[in-house]
Amino acid sequence: RRNLLQILISFRFCSLYLNKHKPWIETSYHGVITENMDTVLLDPPLVALDKDAPVPYAGEICAFKIYGQDAPFEAVVLNHTSGEGVLRASSPVDCESQKEYTFIIQAYDCGAGPSGNDWKKSHKAVVHIQVDDVNEFSPVFREPLYKASVTEGKIYDSILQVEAWDQDCSPQYSQICNYEIVTTGTPFAIDRNGNIRNTERLSYDKQQSYKIMVTAFDCGQKRAKEDVAVHIDVKPVCKPGWQGWNKRVDYEPGTGSKQLFPKMHLETCDGPLSGVRVMVELQTSHIGKGCDRETYSEKSLQKLCGAASGSTDLLPAPSLSTNWTLSLLTDSGRDSDLIYRFDGHQAANVPDHVVPQNLTDQFTIATWMKHGPSPGLRAEKETLLCNSDKTEMNRHHYSLYVHNCRLVLLLRRDFTQVDTFRPAEFHWKLEQICDKEWHYYVINVEFPAVTLFVDGVTYEPYLVTDDWPIHTSKIDTQLTVGACWQGQCVYLYTVTEMLATPRFTQYFHGSLSGLTIRPGRIETQKVISCLQACKEGLDINSLESLAKDIKFHFNPAQSVLVVEGEDVDSINTAMTKVSYINSRQFPTPGLRRLHITTTVQCFGEDTCLLIPDIKAVVMVLPPSEPRITIAGSNRLVRPAGDLRGPLGVAPFKELHITSTVMKGDTHRPGVMEVMHNLDYCDILVIGEELNPERESLEIHHSALLGKHLDATNSTSGISIYGVDSMAHYEQALRQVRYRNWQPATLTDRKFRLTCSELNGRYTSNEFNMEVTFKCFIHCISTLLQPPLIVCFPSSPAGAAPPAATVVIVVCIAALVVIVVIGVYRIHATHQEGTREDEEEVREPEVDWENSALTITVNPMEVMRPQVLEVKEEHEEEEEEDEEQVGEMIGAESDNTDEDEEEEEEEEVKEREQKGTPEWDSSSITY
């Protein structure tokens, strides 16, 4: 029994420490770990089982071992009895470095005993671990800048694609889920793939480039740290047309010719062309009479152009002498052009003394006219000029009118001239008559031939109708402008009652200027061209540099230029030579419109490219306005006797006319004297008008010879007019003479002088001149020759006034005293005997002053036989008439002061040689 017990105990002990079974684990594990974390979530959980359980050690799990290269994990047994374990990261796990790990794991039991010997290990299990990502990185664009270009006018599905990326390892955080355009208000959009497109058609002219900013978002909605710039350039589509031109060209007056399009070229998009035609039009209809012309008066222009004299201006400027145009509407706000506007209610009767009475087979009618289509459905005649019966009847002798855009000249001959059926109406149908533009019309009549000139171009009548001559009568005629005078009592078809009052009819609608008639002569082509010539227009510089295939021509006014050629380069060169020129010294400032039309021909086709028209402007800058200055002595003092002379006095003999303009900029201003023409100078009498019975202000015709000047005078002054230089005006004004043959009635005369350039556009200062004259009484007696020159004031009625009578009596009394003294001295000298002169003294001048009647006489030292002759001469002078004495004084006063002094010296020398007695230095006053 004891042995059996020992055997059982030994068996149990052996069985207790006997490790019969291996641990058991799953064959594979899948785990997930979040990067930067250390715990791995395994599926299934890490648990090892051993069948030796619950035997100590043999049934317990002591370790898990991992086999794999660089696997940053470790397995830890949490409970030896249950075999539970955990898988942990032994070092930080980074998804961006490695997303997955695969390794082998085995479980180990605790062996057969406490010593751990005879341990057993499980089979190998595969562990797959996935590293979960954390959104730690922001999207980054692959390019620092994106560029693209588009052609204007197109809609693109994708202009370019931007691309961003993310360093995160997971699809959720590494993928870009959205792009966005940060810049607002741009015509672009972007999709989730980064494709940029335009949302509207782009225009190169509107904007040539765009700069937009774009950002990106990953699928975790993390935004890019830095936005990216995208540059999109807009390229112009190849459009046929002109390029390189400016819409505005500034023109400074006085600079001559200026190129309008120095960098202009025609883009044809490489099309095969056979010819190009370009028309450049300068539109100046808004300026004055259609372009920048001289604004002098019609008479002055006719003189400048060499027209024959004798024309009658039917629309002169309103004045006292030309008052028939006072009631007409004027439009003179355009650079001083005198324009009359007729709205269908105004007309004027030309006075009979103005109307040419000698219209023969040759005469000329000329006018500027601006006319549009006639108002109303039924167009009526619109009369420019009409000569009709003044009373009783209603016959039109001659007239010029517009009817249905036709210009008609009516010319009815008298029976005294011809008694057969003759041409009476001449019709012209022209577009210019109703185009609302200014044109210059000249009708030359060489009966029966009539020729019309419009802007210098000749037109023959398309229709001539005949009529019987007008029967002779004693009825006076009336010449009217703007309508026709109807002097007969007529019945109206729409009104039953009779109109008994003469009236105007056939009113004109339009504008007229410079309406003239020249009887007896016709105007030449040269003069007509000069009168209507523009001072501004188009020009071509360097004609020799143009290609041989280039053809060009201007219209007569040089406002339209046509250039034709086969080669585009030649056309481009020609267009760079096109320039604007204005030859006026003081042009009208403002804009001039330019219109360019282009026609392109291709081989075998009429037109293959449509070239857009060009509209530009030439801005004529304001000229430096001249300052006309009249200077000189403004006071002239002359003895009254000078005014009685045949030449009178010249008030403006020391006159000077200058003109200056401001030159330079604001920093360096300066004044420069310029020479230009004047067109009139007026001398106005200030105060009481001239009395033709005793005074005159005139200029001799010889002073105007060789100059383009005329003069008119009246009791209110004198006017010198005509376009001529300032020097010629200065010469003429210096020869204006003022005479007064009864100066006692006045003490002075005041005049005001003003001059003008460009019909009053620039005027001078008002130069005031005062002519002062007094009536001096000279009683100078030398007793050797007639020394006594007496000026007797005269009265207009022939009767001497009381003051004049007193002066005469005093003068005679003084003369008697002098004679008595002379006789006394002769007697005294005879008693003493004759002797030689001891001292020579020149004869001083002795004047009578207005304040006192004083005579200063030197006693004679030597008497010669001439004393008796002197006495007789004095007695004769007492009997002379007052006017003869005044004329003698006036004749002597015509000489200059220097001449008078020389004459006095010569007279003194002659008297000394002849034994003329001398005055002693002492004097006796009576």
Helix H segments across 661-796?
Answer: 726-734
Instruction: Say which residue, 492 or 685, is predicted with more confidence.
Output: 685
Alpha carbon distance 157, 179 (integer Å): 16
Res 807 pLDDT > 50:
yes
Res 19 pLDDT > 90:
no
Give the H or E element holding residue 368. Answer: strand 362-370
What pLDDT band is residue 71 in, cutting at 50, 70 and 90?
confident
The mean per-residue pLDDT over the stretch 353-374 comes to 87
Alpha carbon distance 162, 168 (integer Å): 19
> What pLDDT is attached to residue 806?
53
> What pLDDT is attached to residue 769?
93
Give the H or E element holding residue 145. Answer: strand 145-151
Alpha carbon distance 218, 178 (integer Å): 7
Q: Does domain 241-285+536-620 have CATH number 3.90.79?
A: no
The mean per-residue pLDDT over the stretch 167-173 comes to 83
Alpha carbon distance 226, 152 (integer Å): 30
Q: For residue 651, is the peptide bond before it cis, meaning its omega torsion is within 30 degrees of 0?
A: no
Q: What is the DSSP letter of 433?
A: G
The mean per-residue pLDDT over the stretch 670-699 comes to 89
Instruction: Say which residue, 358 or 249, is predicted with more confidence.
Output: 249
Identify residue 525 by its one-letter amino acid code: Q
Residues 6 or more apart whose Cβ sits within 8 Å of residue 232: 147, 148, 149, 150, 159, 160, 188, 196, 209, 210, 211, 212
What pLDDT band is residue 823 in, cutting at 50, 70 and 90?
low
Three-state DSSP class for 743?
helix
Alpha carbon distance 275, 616 (integer Å): 24
Of 63-72, 326-335, 442-451, 888-897, highest mean pLDDT: 442-451
> What pLDDT is attached to residue 843?
31
> What pLDDT is attached to residue 377?
57
What pLDDT band is residue 834 in, cutting at 50, 70 and 90?
very low
Alpha carbon distance 629, 726 (integer Å): 11
> What pLDDT is attached to residue 230?
96
Alpha carbon distance 883, 880 (integer Å): 9
> What pLDDT is attached to residue 778?
37
Q: Burial letters for 28-61: b for 16+ Cβ neighbours within 10 Å, e otherwise? A: ebebebbbeebebbbeeebbbbbebbebbbbbbb
CATH placement of domain 19-132: 2.60.40.60
Alpha carbon distance 302, 366 (integer Å): 11
Identify residue 887 by its one-letter amino acid code: E
CA-nearest of 155, 233, 164 to 197 is 155
Confirm if 926 and 858 have CB atoms less than 8 A apart: no
Instruction: Say which residue, 784 or 89, is predicted with more confidence.
Output: 89
Q: Taking the C-alpha atoms of 633, 637, 638 and 639 in order, what is their torsion angle to the nearest 10 degrees? A: 180
CA-nearest of 680, 683, 677, 676 to 756 is 680
Q: Taking the C-alpha atoms of 89, 91, 93 and 94 in order, what is their torsion angle to the nearest 10 degrees? A: 180
Alpha carbon distance 502, 490 (integer Å): 9
Among 47-61, 371-385, 894-908, where is mean pLDDT lowest? Answer: 894-908
Report the share of the chain in percent with pLDDT over 70: 78
- 859 token code pair: 């006693």
> What pLDDT is attached to residue 914?
41
How far is CA 117 from each of CA 17, 58, 66, 464, rounded to the nearest angstrom? 10, 10, 20, 150
pLDDT digits (tens, 9 = 90+) for 561-614: 999 998 888 999 999 999 999 998 888 888 999 999 999 888 776 667 888 999
Identify residue 291 by its one-letter amino acid code: C
Residues in the chain: 926
10 Å Cβ neighbour count for 692?
Answer: 9
What pLDDT band is residue 434 in, cutting at 50, 70 and 90?
very high
Topology at the third CATH level for domain 140-235: Immunoglobulin-like (2.60.40)
The mean per-residue pLDDT over the stretch 608-635 comes to 91
> What pLDDT is attached to residue 892?
38
Alpha carbon distance 267, 571 (integer Å): 11
Among 302-311, 583-592, 791-800, where is mean pLDDT lowest? Answer: 791-800
Q: Give the E-state strand segments of 434-500 in sequence order.
A: 438-446, 449-454, 457-459, 463-467, 477-481, 484-486, 490-491, 498-499
pTM metric for this prediction: 0.58
Topology at the third CATH level for domain 298-532: Jelly Rolls (2.60.120)
Among 318-327, 371-380, 730-739, where is mean pLDDT lowest? Answer: 371-380
Among 256-270, 447-461, 764-778, where is mean pLDDT lowest? Answer: 764-778
The mean per-residue pLDDT over the stretch 159-184 comes to 90
> What pLDDT is attached to residue 697?
92
Among 251-265, 435-449, 472-486, 666-680, where is mean pLDDT lowest? Answer: 666-680
Q: Taking the C-alpha atoms of 58, 64, 69 and 72 in order, what is their torsion angle to the nearest 10 degrees? A: -160
Instruction: Say which residue, 449 or 335, is predicted with more confidence.
Output: 449
Residues 6 or more apart whose Cβ sits within 8 Å of residue 497: none
Give the H or E element holding residue 696. Answer: strand 695-699
> What pLDDT is attached to residue 664?
60
- 136 token code pair: 């730690």
Confirm if 10 and 95 have CB atoms less than 8 A apart: no
Confirm if 344 and 508 have CB atoms less than 8 A apart: yes
Res 361 pLDDT > 50:
yes
Alpha carbon distance 316, 303 (integer Å): 16
pLDDT digits (tens, 9 = 90+) for 204-231: 889 999 999 999 999 888 899 899 999 9
Burial of 538: CB neighbours in 10 Å, binned 0-12, 13-18, 19+: buried
Alpha carbon distance 598, 484 (integer Å): 47
Write the DSSP string, 552-589: EEE-TTS-EEEEEES-HHHHHHHHHTEEEEE--SSPPP
Residues 6 or more apart whose Cβ sits within 8 Å of residue 706: none
Angle, in degrees to the nearest 10, between helices 866-879 and 802-832 = 170
**What is the gyration radius of the CA atoms in the chain, in angstroms?**
60
Among 154-158, 425-429, 533-537, where is mean pLDDT lowest? Answer: 533-537
Alpha carbon distance 790, 849 (integer Å): 12
Strands lying side by side in the sheet with 477-481? 348-350, 477-481, 382-389, 396-402, 406-411, 422-429, 463-467
Identify residue 385 by its one-letter amino acid code: L
Confirm if 672 and 663 have CB atoms less than 8 A apart: yes
- 796 token code pair: 């207009």
3-state SS string for 590-622? EEEEEEEEEEEEECCCCCCECCCCEEEEEEECC
Q: Give 145's strand partners.
A: 229
10 Å Cβ neighbour count for 10?
Answer: 10
Three-state DSSP class for 700?
coil
Q: Measured in whole angstroms, how far is the alpha carbon of residue 679 from the centre of its chain? A: 24
Identify residue 442 by its one-letter amino acid code: V
The mean per-residue pLDDT over the stretch 828-850 comes to 37
Report the share of the chain in percent with pLDDT over 90: 36
Instruction: Say which residue, 891 or 438, is predicted with more confidence.
Output: 438
What pLDDT band is residue 897 in, cutting at 50, 70 and 90?
very low
